[in-house]
Structures are given as structure tokens and as C-alpha cells.
Structure 1
Amino acid sequence: MVPLSEDAAVSALLDVPDDPQACYVFAHGAGAGMHHSFMAEIARGLARRGVAVLRYQFPYMEQGSKRPDSPKVAHAAIRQAAAFAARRLPDVPLFAGGKSYGGRMSSQAQAAEPLPGVRGLVFVGFPLHAAGQPSTDRAAHLDAVQLPMLFLQGTRDALADLALIRDTTGALGERATLHVVEGADHSFHVLAKFGRTDTQVREELVDTMHGWMMRVAAG
């Protein structure tokens, strides 16, 4: 459990490999919690590569609600999760971020007040805009994030027009790295016509995340 206050906590899962090289504080998306198969497979893939992963529930998910938490509540949970990971794995390079909503809430929290000890943010499908409503308004706060950021985006992502996500990451300069996954949608599902499987896509994601985190951790 990750404590949020003296009388509140949320469930968490910490996958720790032998001699972890980094730790990723991995927030879930709006529609599915930390037990979702995609979250679990990414966590296992990173652990096999030497990266510990802390998955945790946002309060609304813990309570069984379908309505995502307000930014204030989500940001507080992210801060507590990062602090929990730092306590459990002191001296291990710490990264934060998440899937969709979880990634955006993590970047908002970092923009508002730096997350102690966090060296970089990893977004697994940054939700740049609502489906069918191309915009970059949701990225405005990223200018205040003074950390390296990795964006993993699919070419068929309905929540991140590829041209707009390229413009967004390009404007962030050296702080942002964009990795584009050909044929993937917002859930990183690929159609058979692209000649790849979802499992292969997930392997690409964890390879990219691991390599990037190792480079950032090395300075």
C-alpha cells in the first residue's frame, strides 16, 4: 500500500529485479487500473531488463469509481507514490510517468512542483487531445517540465495526432525524445496488416524505455 495520508492509502505492486538499475513509477490510464494486462506486461518486461516498476491505484480506481480524480488529487497520489518508491529503493535512479491519463497527471504534477528525486518522465501514449479534436492545449504545461521526457506514441493514436505530437516534442528541444510505433493505436494495438503482433510492440516499448532510462541515468 502507498500511504496518502494518516488515514488513507492506495494499493500498489512493486516488481523489483535483482540489483535494479532504475525504478519507474508507473501510473495507470483513466479506464483501467494497475492490474490491466498491458500494465502488467510492461512491468514484467522492464523487470526482466533490470528496471523496478511501482504500479499503484489512483484513489478513484481504489474506490471503484469510473470518474477520474481531479488533478489536485491525482497529483498528490503521484507524489506519494514517487516518495514511496524512493524510500523502498534508495539510491536507485527514479523515473515517473504512466499510461495516457497517468502520464499526463505525472507531467502536470512535475510542472507544478518537481517530484523529488525523479530524473525523467516516460509517457506511454501521451493523450494530447480528445479523440477527433486535434489540439495542443493539453501540452502547454510541458514547457515547465525541466526534465528529460520520453514520448511513446503510435501512428494510429486517436488521442495524439502524429503531426501535432511531433510539433509538441520538437518545441521542447533536447528535453523530449519521441519514439513512434508504426501502426499502433492509443492502446498500442496493431492491426494484422502491419505484420506485427501486440507482443512485439510491447517488447519494442520496453526496449525503448529501458534504453532511454539507462542513458538518462548515466547522465
Structure 2
Amino acid sequence: MADVRVLRAGSGPVDVAGVLLTPGAGATRDNRTLVVLDAALAAVGVPVRRVDLPRGAAAAPARVRDEAGAFAAELGVPTGRLVIGGRSFGGRMCSMAVADGLPVAGLLLLSYPLHPPGKPETLRVEHLPRVDVPVLAVSGASDPFGTPDELAAHLASLAGPTTLVVVPGTHGPADAPVVAAVRAWLT
């Protein structure tokens, strides 16, 4: 873990009842990273629900809200006790749901797609200042969807406390450092 860098530290969520995880574009709830993270969190007693999202930014935030509501009801808690997030597109859709008012305990942004590769002028950040919950962003040091410096600059606009952990790799970093960052942030 010597190659892991924390660029900006904030506090993590407290009193988390469960974690809702969503996949990147074109992936499913059975994405390798989500499955490994699910098992690691289950091993420490944190309930996890992995869900698929529809393609397209129009319908996906509504699915996040619906799934968060159903998971919270199953756990017998309000959505404000859940951490939600996911890989790439999934994390972005969760951040949009939170920005639009979904109350949650925290947000996980794993390999956040700040911009398309090679197009840093095409940012996906307009909603970020409305995110007011604790956020953990984990990104590969050479992710073509956003450099660590670009992410740090844009995540600074978040209204809630933010932690950015940079791990070795690109847009699909190894699972072990991602899982370690999430577990450390949640506990």
C-alpha cells in the first residue's frame, strides 16, 4: 500500500446500515470490483446490495433512488443510513441522485469519470457542488478519465467532506487498494 496517496482528507460517514453499489457503463452488478468489495464489507458485517443501472444518465439516477429506498426499507432504516456509490458511471449516477436530494450517509466514487479520455474540456461536474455528504473518491494514478490533480480540483467544489485516495493503475485499478480504501473510510 506504499503507492497509495491521500490527496485531501475528510471524515467518513457514521452509523452506516448498508452500502448500495452500482456498476460502470456497460458492466453489470457482477463487476469484479463490486463483487470483491461486497465480500470484503460482508466480512466485517456491512450489508451490501449490488444493482444494475439502465444505460443513459436520464433514467439511472431514478433507479438509484428507487434501489436505495428499497434497500433501506429492507434494512428497516431511512436512506440517510446508507452509503451509495459505484464504479465510473455508477458512481456518477449516484452522485447525481445525491445532488438532486437523495439523503444518504455517504457517497463512494470509484474511478469517477471526470471527463471522457482525451477531452478534459468536457467535464461532468456541474452537479458536484450540490453534494453535501461525506465522499470517498478512489482513483487510479493514471486514469485517463481524470488525473489526480484534476479530480482534487473539481472535488474541492463538493459541499461535504471529501477524501481522495489515489492508487496505482488506470480506470480499472487493482481491487485490493480500492477495497482497503473503502474499508478504512467506512470504519
Q: TM-score, normalised by structure 2?
A: 0.83
CA deviations 1:35-93 (Å, max 9, x no partner) are 1222211211121122211111123xxxxxxxx22x23111100111001101112483
Query: Counterpart in 2 of 1:94?
Result: 82
Whether 1:203 and 2:184 are equivalent positions in the alignment is no
Q: 1:79 aligns with which of 62, 65, 79?
A: 65
Partners of 1:107 and 1:21 in 2: CA distance: 18
Instruction: Answer yes or no: is the 8 Å Cα contact 1:155–1:185 preserved in 2.
Output: yes
| Identity in percent | 33
2:48 counterpart SS class: strand
2:124 counterpart SS class: helix
Partners of 2:16 and 2:59 in 1: CA distance: 30
- How many residues get paired? 171
Instruction: Answer yes or no: is the 8 Å Cα contact 1:25–1:96 preserved in 2.
Output: yes
Query: Counterpart in 2 of 1:44?
Result: 39
Matched AA of 2:96 = Q
Give the CA deviation at 1:32: 1.0
2:126 counterpart SS class: helix
Matched AA of 1:53 = V
Unpaired stretches in structure 2, ≥5 consecutive residues: 1-14
Instruction: Answer yes or no: is the 8 Å Cα contact 2:116–2:122 preserved in 1.
Output: no
1:153 counterpart SS class: strand
Query: Counterpart in 2 of 1:213?
Result: 186
Give the CA deviation at 1:213: 2.3
Matched AA of 2:91 = G
Instruction: Answer yes or no: is the 8 Å Cα contact 1:22–1:213 preserved in 2.
Output: no
Q: 1:108 aligns with which of 87, 96, 115?
A: 96
Query: Counterpart in 2 of 1:176?
Result: 162
Moved over 4 A (4+): none
Matched AA of 2:172 = S
Give the CA deviation at 1:21: 5.6
Higher relative contact order by CA 8 Å / sep ≥ 6: 1 or 2?
2
* Cα gap change, 1:143 to 1:43, in 2 (>3 Å): same
Unpaired stretches in structure 1, ≥5 consecutive residues: 1-19, 60-67, 189-197, 215-219
Whether 1:159 and 2:154 are equivalent positions in the alignment is no
Instruction: Answer yes or no: is the 8 Å Cα contact 2:95–2:107 preserved in 1.
Output: yes
2:133 counterpart SS class: coil
Matched AA of 1:26 = L
CA deviations 1:112-168 (Å, max 9, x no partner) are 2x214x111001110000011124731121101111111101101111122211211
Q: Considering only CA atoms, is the larger Rg found in Structure 1 or Structure 2?
A: 1
Compute the RMSD of aligned alpha carbons: 2.0
* Cα gap change, 1:172 to 1:110, in 2 (>3 Å): closer
Q: 2:116 aligns with which of 127, 130, 154?
A: 130
Partners of 1:146 and 1:165 in 2: CA distance: 17
1:137 counterpart SS class: coil
Which is helix-richer, 1 or 2?
1
Q: TM-score, normalised by structure 1?
A: 0.72
Partners of 2:44 and 2:177 in 1: CA distance: 12
